[in-house]
Amino acid sequence: MAAGERPLNEVVFLTVAEVATVMRVSKMTVYRLVHSGHLPAIRVGRSFRVPEQAVHDYLEHSYVGVESA
């Protein structure tokens, strides 16, 4: 297991609707991010689940005008 990774039984998965709420965007925007590969997700039946940490990482790396250290 790589540094910073959590065991699979500790990963919290969010639905597309939950991700949209956290990011304050539409569900369609979340689907676009998933399909473009910008937001990793797994498919469960006909729906997607996004790891909660992936949402936080995406938002952290998406800040404009802030240099990351």
pLDDT tens figures, 7-44: 777 889 999 999 999 999 999 999 999 999 999 999 99
Q: Are strands 47-51 and 13-15 parallel, antiparallel or unpaired?
A: antiparallel
Q: 37-59: per-residue pLDDT in tens?
A: 999 999 999 999 999 999 999 99
The number of residues making up the chain comes to 69
Record the pTM.
0.80
Dihedral pair phi/psi, residue 49, rounded to 5°: -125, 135
CB atoms within 10 A of CB 48: 20
